[in-house]
Structure 1
Amino acid sequence: MAECLDSCGEVHIPYPFGIGPNCSIQGAFAVTCNTTNNGTDTPYLGSFQLLNINLSLGEVLIDMPVSHQCYDSTRKMYHYTDWWMNLNTHHYRFNHQKNKFTVIGCSTALGVVNFTNPHDSYLGGCVAGCDSLESLIEGSCSGIGCCQTSIPQGTNHIKFWFNNNLTDTEAYNFSPCDYAMITAEDKFTFNTSYITSDLLWKQNMSAVIDWFIANTSCETAKTNKSSFACISNNSICVNSSSGAGYLCNCSNGYQGNPYRKGGCQDINECSNNNTCSTPAKCRNFEGGYQCYCPFGWRKKHDNSGQCELNLALVIGTCASIVVLSFLVLSTYVVYERRKLSKVEEKYFQEHGGRILLEKIQTDQRFGFTIFTKQQVEQATNNFDSANIIGHGGQGTVYKGTLRDQLVAIKKCKVVDERKKKEFGTEMLILSQINHKNIVKLLGCCLEVEVPMLVYEFIPNGTLFHYIHGKIQGSQISLSTRLRIAHESAEALSYLHFSASPSIFHGDVKSLNILLDQNYTAKVSDFGASLLSPTDEVQFVTFVQGTCGYLDPEYMQSCHLTDKSDVYSFGVILLELLTSKPVIDFDAPEEKRSLSSCFLSAMKEKKIEELLDDEIKNEDDMEVIMEVAELAKECLNMKGDERPTMKEVTEELDRIQKLKQHPWGQEYHPEETETLLGQASYGIEIEHSGYFSLEKKARKSIAAGR
């Protein structure tokens, strides 16, 4: 939280510890920051001074008191301090690997008991003795003047006990006091002056305390998502080394605070110059890195990962250099190429090229190609304007030839910086879309600032130009229009219901429906922009939309759904029925929108005034009205009341069949009345399409009359 302090004095206080109300994950992790007489801020964990917190190891370093027993030779009696410590059993343990029970004295016996048990169960003990000061060894704690013993694992409540029965009062003539403590082994060094002086009288010693989030295992903790502490992406749960409880760590290749959302960040291993052995280069990626050999080198065959000189390549290069007459010019060219290669490598990494490359290398069936910048430039004659076949708000489309295949290359204008890293993953999804009525994404080029996309080439232009740019005298039959509508609907239904994850197009319009050599509809631009995740299972295209096609509900909520595509498809149905532009800026304001004019005409039953003269035919009016009714349903202002694209596809399929074999052509009144009667009694009868059987039955009766 912003109001919580993250340090006290020189000690960093990371979450789950915290200073202040609601700043720690639990009360046991609350830290107080006290100001001493000299104005220094000092942190305390309970009553103990806090020296350091280690998140990854689950340890804190604290100051522990030293217990003493001193002999008063004048009064012939001992005075001593008892020492005991009770750790929170749910969150703390003494570290049994880094701490030691330590006893200092020349005639000292110490017992250590587990005070948690009513019977004071014995944990250990130690005896230290010495005959004279000369027998002491500086730095040695092997029993002469100093003794150390281990702490059992899982200890959390202990008490020291001096055994006076083993005490030699003569030793107190030169060593009046005995000391006992728990101390971190690497923080303590025995000093012989401890025996004859009072250096330890009121001194504290550092000790390592294990901490954990809760006294439960990772397996159990994960089952309660509301209290599970490992909330950062790229974090893992680990069982505490103390033998109880669990901790959170960042996964390999990440660092930071796993107890915070977004706390674990990628480690850039390549920032360390020693990550890869020279001359290997380092390539960083999310969660790891890779060493690769630069031009002129290759990896050794001994799997050591080191690079060796590629002699064949070096000899060939040297021979070429000798032949060149302008050595300076050649050096300059090599320098510029390497400089460009670094820039291209940077773009390749930014756009997720490693993800795609690994997929291509591991899956031979993966029909996707990463083209080089040079290949794309050659295919388009360096993006010659003569090869432009389309313009859009997001970029320009060029016609080109790659590997003896005609392709369409989309050169986008800009790319959202925050989405660069997801580009590789999104290309994996889009490249696996395979449908006869969807333009196939063949590959991409990543060595440029804005990635370029390579599609199959569709020769007969767009549905928009087919409808609105007809050659004088040419006609588009109603059957052709129905077929194109049905094929387009099938493509969108596939994206919504069969693609994994689901894809919402977001910019459905006649300009984005292409026609191949057989005038088969092909939906395009479903992946023309980067994809962005809306939740864990769905992807949508980056939507700019087009005036006249945009879902009014989306314009209000900015929330794209599959029903937004349904609305836009309804506008396309109007184009097919009327051959009119979706927005006519030359018309009066109330008649500019084709969808508004259509809905008004339907309400006033004047739809024939809007229809294209080419399809006005008394025999086809029933079919046309079916399409108009479907378009009306698609243009419903409420998205929930629109049909799905699957239902639209089924209805168009039914209407096509109605066009080919009109229902009621051979009128059987008794059969039709039976169907109508079944429908009226709620009997479910097999039918296709979005509209009810009752409606069909009534139309059949009307036709028979």
Structure 2
Amino acid sequence: MIPRSVSLIFLLLFLVPEIATVSALMTKPNCTETCGNISIPFPFGIGTGCSMNDWFSVDCNKTTADSPSRAFLSRINMEVLGISLGSSRVRVNSPIISSGCSGRGANLAFDMTGSPFVFSSLNIFIAMGCNNHALLNRIEPEVVGCTSTCGANNLTSSITEGKEKRYCSGNNCCQTRIPSNLQVFNASLGTTEDPNDQGRNQCKVAFIVDRGWSLDNIKSPEAVQDRQHVPVILDWFVYSDNIRVENSDAKNCRPPVQLPSGRWGLSTLTLYSNSTTCSCNLGYDGNPYLPDGCTDIDECKNLNGNWCSGMTKCVNVPGGYKCELDKAKITFLILGAATGLLLLLVGIWGLYKLVRKRKNIELKKKFFKQNGGLLLQQQLSSSDGSIQKTKIFTSKELEKATDRFNDNRILGKGGQGTVYKGMLADGMIVAVKKSKIVDEEKLEEFINEVVILSQVNHRHVVKLLGCCLETEVPLLVYEFIPNGNLYEYIHDQKEEFEFSWEMRLRIATEVARALSYLHSAASIPVYHRDIKSTNILLDEKLRAKVSDFGTSRSIAIDQTHLTTHVQGTFGYFDPEYFQSSQFTGKSDVYSFGVVLAELLSGQKPISYERSEERGSLATHFILLMEENKIFDILDERLIGQEREEEVIAVANLARRCLNWNGKKRPTMREVAIELEQIRLSKGALQAQRSSKQLENIRHEVPNVWENIAGPPTSVTIGDFRNGTGPSLDVQPLISHETW
């Protein structure tokens, strides 16, 4: 059997040659080319002398004024539905043989004996009706037919099943193949010998029909009963004596090819020994049955007719074409490709920049939140206008200012980050502090420094110019302090620089002023909590600038102390605070006392060079004061400067600042006033203090210092009262130790 798809393909092949050859010479000169909407190519023809012979003569009849003309084969009187030269097939209307059907005419046999036409194997024989036993006649000795039975279901169910099986199942409809080279259609319709035959007197029909058409149009016996004709396909041939047969590049004539009965395949069968069919060779088009009817096809005129690429041009040759390189096209193609590639790259680059820009925006939002931007906004919004507006720098501004954080711009590195020297667009020199990655536990300390410095406005406090939170690590922008920190001037002696007593006293006074301002004159009192020589910077005129407010805290005006985890730097933080965890303004006073001792002695707050008992500078200093050996600890660079009264006055002040009992320490305001008086009186205060007996400080010196030695290190202290040692893994969030 032939699948329905094959029939559809054949139908396309059947029609396409008609479309393809319309423009070519298809008929004899002065002969009509069409009848209605049917093309009539030679060997068929309309009128005298227009066909090859009488068998191919076509009558064109006009039935009604409104309907198109209809074509009929004159000799066999069958209506022509279409002609295909390429496949040598003609589609016609074939009669239906019936029995017991009211309203139908007589059964007409169909005899094409002696003609060049045979039924194509693309047709099938179908019988319909209840108990219809149908046989083809005049095909001895073969017996061809089929029997349809009566069933409860009508033909529709059979056809529905047939849409999968592609044939009638036998229920009210049966089908079979037809024999090869069949030219006669005559059928006998009978009934079975069953005495209970339900269909004995019912309508029965039989017909030969195009396989493809039958599957789409036969829905029920009634639908066929009302029809007079069904389409069939006829194969045709011509006699070789009637045409000029030649083997050339244009035309090829051969015996007709038909589908044999019994197998579905192609084989060569001839009805007569001198029968043949002709076709134009590949690359030619037209009518092979006319002299010089096959003409060369110009494939170059049809873009779909050749495979020449854009780099070649099509050159037509007889029977085909060839592709030759087209230099102009190649040049144009190269230029076009280069332009297209450039546009593509520009587009990709633009898209990349857009995606990267959007990604950077989202990343900056993420970093802003990660670095405490929301907390900073909350702090600033709750300040009631007491905090000065802080400039928010973009990461792009600071990258440009620091030459993308070039190592050559590094001013110093500390435990909490790196400080870079930068120049803003307006030419201002700044210090950009790039903190190390901040964990969530230290975000509050970082934001705290920003908030505190935003509300502090004092010439001896490092001024915060702004911050940037849209980078992976937070950035703070300070005024640039060019001359390092006090620790370097005290402990790193430089022969070319004389660090005089007058300079030391002035720096101490300036620091005391700044701390006094923070404690009592600022809009919100601030405790620094990490006063040490490394956090005291010196500007171009060697004026003191207090820095590093990462551990600072602001308090309410009526609040006397803060209860916090103990934080500070060994050698500087208050032993009373260490025991009670209550930080007061007197705790800053104690740390400042250590700085005074450093200025007087030139020694480090913690040193391994001293004995274990005197490892702490505070302890060592108080013990020497108790022993009335103040000049034993005095920095040798101060000897001979004839300022002994001032030195003794400052030493007594430092001793009072280092008192174990915080209540007995002076306030920072008192310290600042007394230092101012010392500078103005030049020793008068020493005479006032000399009559007082030295307090017994030995028993007030905490033993926690005795076993501590080494350079000052910022740490978080564990609770010694619970028997645990100091924890060294927590440091102030931001440090200026190496400025």
**TM-score normalised to structure 1 length:** 0.45
With CA pairs under 8 Å and 6+ residues apart, which has the higher RCO, 1 or 2? Answer: 2
Q: Name the larger-Rg structure.
A: 2
TM (norm. structure 2) is 0.43
